[in-house]
């Protein structure tokens, strides 16, 4: 520590003078012993750091305790190191990869000969408890590149990472007990701060996410400051397992993905197909009400189209390989937008024509790596609820108001809450950075004028422009990628998308790329989990199942089915097997209504109604009243 003094500004505006090189822990101690004991990390000039990190210049500082949200990621990163400590003690030969904190937990990658078993995870978790109980301090130190090479001479994965550092770059290592890791931190003061944690699962993961590299074994876990929070999270994970769309999709016979067809390609079964049809018909009717024009485009196009759009420049790794036809190269469509631009260009457009809204449920193809595929949520072929809106610059704000109102209405029908995120310019953005940033500020202005809360997604924008993302929140509090509203000043330049203004001069149009729901695959996969397979009546594949008690009453039951179908209800008759078996089957398929018809019901023109979720309760209703009840529920798109 130097005799030179630096100024440390606290959140309340007080300023401390501390020796240069003081750590964040020193600052906490200077403020008071209570804070020093509770401190886990700190935010220095906006960057989260460990308590052991030195401060060399004047700085603003905020000490983090368990009450601060930012401290949880620090705890979880430390938990990853505790996991690696445990694995190295039980498997000394395991190669170590990376161990970051992630949303809801952490993971660490290991290079081992055989995949870890559930019994291995139990042993690692027990050893983690011993490491935590030992309260090993996390010690940080700076090393040179040569020193780091020597320290990690037996760790080829770390040596590979080291070679990516510049010779003058600051390199830090962290040590706790017997474990040493190449790491930027930050970490909590000691392993003893880790009290409430759980290892969750193991999985394969390619080194550096590269399919051509070796497969590592990844262990996922989670950690919390308080036991009730951990228990709540584990309960939510158990509920999520029950709602897994891959399991329910099979149980309810909604869709399949088969090796003979290819991973990432969804086959919609009849029961899933009618759900998709219901969503699409509702959406199309809504689009027409909101003055969209429906268009259609081919699923294959000349590679030249994607060269003009810039997709070949910045997106080629996510496109399927080219097909060659006598020297002309074709690509499967990765996005609908270039096709819509070509439709726009077929006519001279006047300022009076705008806005023009071209909408398409268009199927696109992306080469997603096999390790990233996940049921219906991450696929290689998907049908996107897509539209491109061509506006004058003075129409941007009004059009975004329409979009936000339209999206809000749709999500309310499906029973979703949502959050908004404003995304900014990514590294691979094309065009003038100033134009991109101007577009970002235009979107910020729309949100702030409407008083809508939002978070920033720095660097998360599309390569051609910033966007507002709609992240829906499901029934158990998870966030799903929903719609997106992207503002684009670049494609009009590339494609020459113009309109003739009131001054009789040509002007560049502005394009809004938007999806309201996202892809049908992802959206309906999310709906399966949101509703736990129990779809509202208007979406249910089978809305009513009529069950005659015996053969003598089958004709009467069939008449009721005919009346329901005539009223627009998806109703079926099921007379095979015993009545108890048929009731259980209907419950398993989560059919909203069962109607039982026996002697009394046949003679009285009634039906004994069982409503999903109400157990064995039966209400005897007149048939006309029952049909009216079901039809009303469907027409209102009621959630209950």
Sign of the torsion formed by the C-alpha atoms of 245, 521, 634 and 555 = negative
Q: Let me know whether 413 and 489 are in one domain.
A: yes
> Which range has highest mean pLDDT (1-5, 142-146, 203-207)?
142-146
Number of DSSP helices (H) and strands (E) in the chain, helices first: 20, 33
Residue 576 lies in a domain: yes
366 as an active site residue: the answer is: yes
**Lowest mean pLDDT, pick from 51-55, 111-115, 261-265, 431-435:** 431-435
Residue 431 lies in a domain: yes
Q: Output the six-digit token pair for 352.
A: 């009076």
Last residue of a domain, one of 24, 48, 64: 64
Q: Let me know whether 478 and 602 are in one domain.
A: no
Q: Torsion-angle region of residue 262: left (phi > 0), alpha (psi -120 to 50) or beta?
A: left
Helix (H) or strand (E) holding 631, with range, is: helix 623-636
Q: CATH number, domain at 620?
A: 3.40.50.800
pLDDT in tens, 344-365: 999 999 999 999 999 999 999 9
Mean pLDDT of 219-238: 96
pLDDT of residue 425: 87
pLDDT at 1 over 60: no
374 as an active site residue: the answer is: no
pLDDT of residue 284: 97
Mean pLDDT of 90-106: 93
d(CA 490, CA 432): 8
Last residue of a domain, one of 495, 530, 565: 530
Q: Let me know whether 345 and 473 are in one domain.
A: yes
User: Cis before residue 186, ω within 30 degrees of 0?
Assistant: yes
pLDDT band for position 543 (50/70/90)? very high
Q: Let me know whether 319 and 356 are in one domain.
A: yes
Residue 241 lies in a domain: no
Residue 314 lies in a domain: yes
Mean pLDDT of the chain: 93
For the entire predicted model, the pTM comes to 0.84
Q: CATH number, domain at 520?
A: 3.30.930.10
Catalytic residue among 366, 406, 478, 590: 366
Long-range contacts of 379-383 (CB under 8 A, 24+ apart): 379/264, 379/265, 379/266, 379/519, 379/521, 379/522, 380/262, 380/263, 380/264, 380/265, 381/264, 381/265, 381/266, 382/519, 382/520, 382/521, 382/522, 383/519, 383/520, 383/521
pLDDT in tens, 311-333: 888 788 888 998 998 889 999 99
Residue 223 lies in a domain: yes
Residue 573 belongs to domain spanning: 544-636
Q: Let me know whether 486 and 370 are in one domain.
A: yes
| 353: three-class secondary structure by DSSP | helix
Catalytic residue among 181, 245, 276, 337: 337
Mean pLDDT of 591-617: 94
Q: How many domains does the chain have?
A: 4
pLDDT at 227 over 90: yes
pLDDT band for position 2 (50/70/90)? low
Q: Let me know whether 467 and 391 are in one domain.
A: yes
Q: Output the six-digit token pair for 320.
A: 């399927």
364 as an active site residue: the answer is: no
pLDDT of residue 333: 93
Q: Let me know whether 420 and 566 are in one domain.
A: no
Q: Let me know whether 210 and 286 are in one domain.
A: no
pLDDT at 274 over 80: yes
pLDDT of residue 600: 95
467 as an active site residue: the answer is: yes
pLDDT of residue 62: 95
Q: CATH number, domain at 182?
A: 3.30.980.10
Catalytic residue among 196, 218, 478, 513: 513
Residue 59 lies in a domain: yes
pLDDT at 546 over 60: yes
Catalytic residue among 127, 158, 388, 425: 388
Q: Let me know whether 35 and 170 are in one domain.
A: no
Mean pLDDT of 623-640: 95
Q: Let me know whether 36 and 135 are in one domain.
A: no
The pairing of beta strand 15-19 with beta strand 300-302 = unpaired
386 as an active site residue: the answer is: yes
Q: CATH number, domain at 55?
A: 3.10.20.30
pLDDT at 211 over 90: no
Mean pLDDT of 42-67: 94
Mean pLDDT of 408-422: 95
C-beta of residue 209 within 8 angstroms of C-beta of residue 114: no
Catalytic residue among 136, 217, 384, 490: 384
pLDDT of residue 465: 84
pLDDT at 209 over 90: no
pLDDT of residue 169: 81
Last residue of a domain, one of 469, 502, 530: 530
d(CA 524, CA 375): 11
C-beta of residue 473 within 8 angstroms of C-beta of residue 418: yes
pLDDT band for position 429 (50/70/90)? confident
Q: How many residues does the chain have?
A: 640
Give phi and psi for 117, each to the nearest 5: -100, 165
Residue 535 lies in a domain: no
C-beta of residue 541 within 8 angstroms of C-beta of residue 572: no
Residue 56 lies in a domain: yes
pLDDT at 445 over 80: yes
pLDDT in tens, 470-495: 999 999 988 888 999 999 888 898 99
20 as an active site residue: the answer is: no
**Lowest mean pLDDT, pick from 87-91, 123-127, 154-158, 392-396:** 154-158
Mean pLDDT of 18-44: 94
Q: Let me know whether 85 and 9 are in one domain.
A: no
388 as an active site residue: the answer is: yes
Query: Of 492, 498, 486, which Cα lies nearest the Cα of 461?
Result: 486
Q: Let me know whether 386 and 504 are in one domain.
A: yes
């Amino acid at each position: 520590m130097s005799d030179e003094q630096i100024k440390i500004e606290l959140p309340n505006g007080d300023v401390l003078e501390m020796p240069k090189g003081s750590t964040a822990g020193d600052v906490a101690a200077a403020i008071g012993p209570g804070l020093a004991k509770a401190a886990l990390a700190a935010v220095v000039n906006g960057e989260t750091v460990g308590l052991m990190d030195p401060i060399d210049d004047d700085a603003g500082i905020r000490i983090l305790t368990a009450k601060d949200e930012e401290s949880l990621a620090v705890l979880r990163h430390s938990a990853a190191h505790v996991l690696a400590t445990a694995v190295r003690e039980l498997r000394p030969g395991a190669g170590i990869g990376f161990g970051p904190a992630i949303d809801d937990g952490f993971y660490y990658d290991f290079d081992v000969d055989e995949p870890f078993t559930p019994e291995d995870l139990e042993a690692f978790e027990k050893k983690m408890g011993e490491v935590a109980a030992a309260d090993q301090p996390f010690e940080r130190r700076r090393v040179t590149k040569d020193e780091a090479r020597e320290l990690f001479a037996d760790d080829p994965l770390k040596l590979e990472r080291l070679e990516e550092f510049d010779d003058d770059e600051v390199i830090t290592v962290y040590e706790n007990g017997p474990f040493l890791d190449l790491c930027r931190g930050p970490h909590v003061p000691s392993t003893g701060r880790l009290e409430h944690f759980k290892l969750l699962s193991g999985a394969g993961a390619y080194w550096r996410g590269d399919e051509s590299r070796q497969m590592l074994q990844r262990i996922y876990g989670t950690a919390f400051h308080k036991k009730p929070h951990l228990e709540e999270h584990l309960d939510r994970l158990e509920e999520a397992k029950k709602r897994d769309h891959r399991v329910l999709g099979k149980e309810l016979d909604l869709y399949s993905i088969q090796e003979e067809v290819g991973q990432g390609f969804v086959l919609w079964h009849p029961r899933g197909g009618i759900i998709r049809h219901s969503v699409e018909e509702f959406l199309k009717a809504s689009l027409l009400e909101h003055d969209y024009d429906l268009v259609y485009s081919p699923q294959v196009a000349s590679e030249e189209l994607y060269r003009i759009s810039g997709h070949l420049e910045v997106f080629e790794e996510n496109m399927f390989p080219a097909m060659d036809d006598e020297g002309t190269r074709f690509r499967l469509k990765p996005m609908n937008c270039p096709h819509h631009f070509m439709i726009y260009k077929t006519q001279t457009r006047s300022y009076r024509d705008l806005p023009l809204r071209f909408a398409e449920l268009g199927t696109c193809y992306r080469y997603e790596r096999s390790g990233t595929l996940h049921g219906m949520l991450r696929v290689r072929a998907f049908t996107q609820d897509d539209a491109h809106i061509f506006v004058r610059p003075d129409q941007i704000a009004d059009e975004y108001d329409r979009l936000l109102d339209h999206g809000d209405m749709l999500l309310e029908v499906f029973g979703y809450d949502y959050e908004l995120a404003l995304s900014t310019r990514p590294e691979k953005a094309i065009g003038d950075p100033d134009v991109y940033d101007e577009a970002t500020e235009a979107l910020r202005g729309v949100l702030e004028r409407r008083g809508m809360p939002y978070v920033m997604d720095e660097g998360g924008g599309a390569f051609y422009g910033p966007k507002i993302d709609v992240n829906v929140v499901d029934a158990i509090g998870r966030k799903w990628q929903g719609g997106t509203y992207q503002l684009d000043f670049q494609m009009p330049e590339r494609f020459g998308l113009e309109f003739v203004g009131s001054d009789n001069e040509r002007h560049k149009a502005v394009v809004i790329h938007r999806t309201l729901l996202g892809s049908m695959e992802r959206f309906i996969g999310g709906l399966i989990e949101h509703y736990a397979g129990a779809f509202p009546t208007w979406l249910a594949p089978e809305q009513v199942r009529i069950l005659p008690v015996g053969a003598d009453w089958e004709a009467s039951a069939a008449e009721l089915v005919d009346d329901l179908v005539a009223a627009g209800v998806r109703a079926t008759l099921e007379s095979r097997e015993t009545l108890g078996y048929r009731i259980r089957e209907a419950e398993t398929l989560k059919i909203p209504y069962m109607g039982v018809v026996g002697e009394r019901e046949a003679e009285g023109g009634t039906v004994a109604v069982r409503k999903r979720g109400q157990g064995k309760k039966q209400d005897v209703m007149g048939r006309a009243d029952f049909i009216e009840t079901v039809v009303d529920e469907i027409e209102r798109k009621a959630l209950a």
